[in-house]
Amino acid sequence: MRTSFEELRAELQPEIDRIVAQYPQRRSALLPLVHLFQDRIGYAPPEVVDYVAETCGVTAAQCESVISFYTLFYRRPIGKYNLQVCRNLSCTLRGAKQVMERFRERLGIDHLQTTDDGLFSYEEVECLAACDRAPCMQVNLRFVYDLTPELVDEMIAAMRAGAYHVKPLAQTEPPPREVRGPAWPRAHRKSAGAVGVPNPDNASGVGDRDGSEAARRLRREGVAALAAPGRFADAQTIDAILAAPNDGAVMEGHG
Ligand code: FES
């Protein structure tokens, strides 16, 4: 059972005051304040959003949009080791695919999942701006360069043994299997974003480059859903989608 938010806030008040005083505008303290709470709680729950928003003089929606934008903030409890492997071009050219496959195989989880023992969360992310040392990743936001499948094995063994050099994240609640999802009671008020989207190639749920998402929705919701005002489909497109192979295999077959 973690300390109540009010108790934690009271304990951190001197540090909060110090951070806020560093900036001419209070809103500039938003990122360091979320970091401060996340370091202690292990993620940024709704109480943090509300408190930081009020402290920084922004709306809760603005604070929430910042937290959901950065992969370095967590909106749900996650594993003690957050493994974020770069899947972008330089890393892919230098063997990231083999590295990602090794992580998935050894941990028994997929992109944006947490192991049942709560030790590892795994995510494939975009360019980490360390392309000269590709393939690379971050463990709890600390860089690891020049990855190989063998190095992955060594890292996992060291983490399991409690001997890895990067400190585990705080974990005040058992993490759910899925890293993202409707964890916040008010999540329904927001765009669904990546909620329930299994494919990192289409993490925002928009774009639909190959039309397979449209095909799936069409079969699920019917033609009216796609042909509604503001939607993209015309009769010709709908015919093309219906003629396409079923089941969205293109999207779900990806990484
Ligand atoms: S492509 Fe991986 S760090 Fe840039």
Cβ of 128 less than 6 Å from ligand 1: yes
Pocket test for ligand 1, best of 127, 138, 143 (most atoms within 8 A of CB): 127
Question: Rounded CA gap, 237 and 235, in Å?
Answer: 5
Q: pLDDT tens digit string along 113-151?
A: 999 999 999 999 999 999 999 999 999 999 999 999 999
pTM: 0.68
Determine the 3-state secondary structure of 84 from DSSP.
strand
pLDDT recorded at residue 71? 78
Long-range contact set of residues 2-5: C-beta below 8 Å, sequence gap at least 24: 2/41, 2/172, 2/173, 5/45, 5/47, 5/48, 5/51
Could you give the CA distance from residue 117 to residue 156 in angstroms, rounded to a whole number? 14
Say what percent of the chain tops pLDDT 70: 70
Q: Do domains 5-69 and 81-160 have the same CATH topology?
A: no
pLDDT at 220 over 60: yes
89 in contact with ligand 1, CB cutoff 6 A: yes
pLDDT value of position 3: 75
245 in Cβ contact with 219 (< 8 Å): no
What ranges make up the beta strands (E) of 61-172?
81-86, 113-114, 120-125, 137-139, 142-144
Q: State which amino acid sits at residue 18.
A: R
How high is the pLDDT of residue 190?
40
CATH superfamily to which 81-160 belongs: Glutaredoxin (3.40.30.10)
- The answer, yes or no, to whether residue 228 has pLDDT greater than 70, is no
- Distance in Å, CA 96 to ligand 1 centroid: 9
Q: How far is the centre of ligand 1, averaged over its atoms, from the C-alpha of 147 (Å)?
A: 12
Would you give the distance in Å from CA 21 to the centre of its chain? 30
Dist CA 187 CA 146 (whole Å): 38
Backbone φ, ψ for residue 163 (5° rounding): -115, 10
> Residue 247: CB partners within 8 Å, gap ≥ 6?
216
Q: What is the pLDDT of residues 13-66, one digit of tens each?
A: 999 999 999 999 999 999 999 999 999 999 999 999 999 999 999 999 999 999
When pLDDT is cut at 50, 70 and 90, the band that residue 205 belongs to is very low
SS3 content of the chain, % helix, strand, coil (to 5): 45, 10, 45
64 φ, ψ (degrees, to nearest 5): -60, -40
Domain boundaries, given as residue ranges, for the chain: 5-69, 81-160, 188-252
Q: Compute the average pLDDT of residues 195-214.
A: 52
For residues 35-50, b (16+ Cβ closer than 10 Å) or e, as one string?
ebbbeebbbbbbebbe
Q: Which overall architecture, per CATH, does domain 5-69 show? A: Orthogonal Bundle (1.10)
Q: Between the CA of residue 94 and those of 131, 150, 190, 207, what are the distances in Å?
A: 10, 15, 38, 27
pLDDT level of residue 79 (50, 70, 90 thresholds) = very high
